[in-house]
Structure 1
Amino acid sequence: MARPGGPPDANPAQTASVAGVVLAYPGRTPLGPLDLSVSPGEIVAVVGASGAGKSTLLRLLAGLEQPPVSGAVARAPEAITGFVFQAPTLMPWADALTNVALPLELAGAPRPEARHRAAVALTAVGLGDRLAARPRQLSGGMAMRVSLARALVTDPDLLLLDEPFAALDSVTRRRLIEDLHRLWAARTPRPAIVFVTHDVEEAVHLAGRAMVLDSATGRTTATLACPGPLPRPDGWRAEPGYRVAVEALAAALAAAMPAAEVAA
């Protein structure tokens, strides 16, 4: 049964779903229908051109988007959602510990408990020695780790990530993806993850499956399985199956984009 005033409950086998959702925005073709279902513990990557509806899909799953023109959004009863945005969105005047403790305090947790759990979360992302650091004292990768710790501190059932590593260098991005896999694998039960990215290599490495959105309508044009175990073993990027999956996803993404944008 759905909670009063809330979205319908998801199928018991799903953490969240978006089914047949159409959204209308002034000055553009309606977006949709958008469809995605996410099972508990599953990692799904969403790729597509700018304007294809990737971030909109995340906001729908999080309950942050306006009600759809048609279709349905559903989440598992009492499911907790964590969200990591493109920028760390940290409070600049507060230290890392206070930033991570904030969602717990807003939920009513006693301050000592919230700060203890925040310290544990920061230690888990490798920042146990930076609890008192302000955002201006952190590198871009460190700030994103704080944002990830803030999303994980509530023990979410669904973790949504909107291109969180896009502004980082390739080495830092790889390290953060490895850390994300490690944190996901260490949790019981494992959260479902939906990860938005433009990077097909990142998508194949991170996820168990990747879906491609059409640049004009936001509809799913392809869903491809990403082979191999999760978390990925060392050296997996050198495996032939990885390269085949990357090329297949790149081709599907190119087919879903306007010719002019592909040529650019």
Structure 2
Amino acid sequence: MADAEEAFAAALRDVIVRYPGRPALGPVDLGVAPGEILAVVGASGAGKSTLLRLLAGLETPSDGTVIRGAGRGRIGFVFQTATLMPWADVLANVALPLELAGAPREVARRRASTGLAAVGLGDRLSTRPRQLSGGMAMRASLARALVTEPDLLLLDEPFAALDSVTRRRLIEDLHRLWAGRKPRPAIVFVTHDVEEAVYLAHRAVVLDAAAGRVVAELASPGVLPRPEGWRADVDYRAAVERLAAELARSMTAIPAADERGS
């Protein structure tokens, strides 16, 4: 077990989640290495969000083992919506995890200010969440997740509600922030978008629509961060088509009523 913990930032081993009156999720076997970016794709109801909650320790498996390995075990989580406190300004929102961890307020806010500057919100410290655009709110949420310098960053379709231009900019920002950290955090990124998955990650896994098992794994070509114009690269386009085909294959037997969540 010690060797396994060293090899992975986090992993699921023979994990099954059972729900009363619903199909079980799993068994799932999945690992993410330190510094690796992993994309998870699958149909709605395949259990993608459940997988993230298991990795984060927010949900307990019915069977199997959740491994949290290399590093200090710090985890950052970015949800589908920004989940910022509406009554507090952006600086207070981002400083909150540090203050909850016991950091003095002055230290927490100084680090939060630095984190907000890194995502392009250095001039919005006193802004309330309702005054932010969707892209800005997600940047603030990303800064909040990164401010504790996590070893594992979990992102649950954080860009799904944004326009394509803003999504692309945020992906580039995520790559830049990941590349600038030493050591680099592991990232698990849930998405429905196969182009986003191939562009963002070192590799992508596909969850079966019927049971949430990993049914395909594809490595993305090229290096991260991506060079300018890489979306037009023939290897990228071919990888997108391969992943799209695997996703379509995984959806051939979608249950009629599966309420496991996305």
- Into which bin does the TM-score normalised by the smaller protein fall? over 0.9
Tell me the distance in 1 between the aligned counterparts of 2:31 and 2:67.
Answer: 9
Which residue matches 2:53?
59
Cα deviation 1:71-114 (Å, max 9, x = unaligned): 10010263100000000000000000000000000000000000
Aligned to 1:128: 122
Question: Structure 2 counterpart of 1:90, which letter?
Answer: L
Of the three residues 225, 229, 243, the one matched with 1:231 is 225
Q: Does the CA-based 8 Å contact 1:9-1:74 persist in structure 2? A: no
Q: TM-score, normalised by structure 2?
A: 0.94
Contact 2:72 2:151 (8 Å CA) reproduced:
no
Partner Cα separation in structure 1 for residue 108 and residue 178 of structure 2: 21
Q: Is 1:205 aligned to residue 199 of structure 2?
A: yes
- For residue 227 of structure 1, give the secondary structure of its aligned residue in structure 2: coil
Structure 1 residues 180 and 162: CA distance shift in structure 2, 3 A: same
Q: Could you list the runs of 5+ residues in structure 2 that have no partner in the other structure?
A: 256-262
Q: Unpaired runs of 5+ in structure 1?
A: 2-7
2:55 and 2:72 map into 1 onto residues whose CA distance is 14
- CA change 1:154–1:46 in 2 (3 A) is same
Provide the rounded CA distance (Å) in 2 between the counterparts of 1:68 and 1:133: 40
Q: Which amino acid aligns with 1:107?
A: A
**Which has the higher relative contact order, 1 or 2, with Cα contacts under 8 A spaced 6 or more apart?**
2
Gap change, CA 1:9 and 1:85, over 3 Å in 2: farther
Give the total of aligned pairs: 254
The structure-2 alpha-carbon separation of the partners of 1:9 and 1:16, relative to structure 1 and needing over 3 Å to count, comes to farther
1:173 to 167, 192, 195: 167
Q: 1:13 offset after TM fit, Å?
A: 1.6
**Partner AA of 2:66 in structure 1:** V
**Aligned with residue 19 of structure 1, among 13, 16, 26:** 13
**Structure-1 separation of matches of 2:192 and 2:3:** 30
Offset at 1:249?
0.2
TM-score, normalised on structure 1? 0.94
Q: Tell me if structure 2 keeps the 8 A contact 1:237–1:243.
A: yes
Q: CA RMSD in A?
A: 1.5
CA distance in 1, matches of 2:25, 2:176: 35
Please state if 1:71 is matched with 2:55: no
Query: What amino acid maps onto 1:250 in structure 2?
Result: A
Q: How far did 1:9 drift?
A: 9.2
Native 8 Å contact 2:210 2:254 kept in 1: no
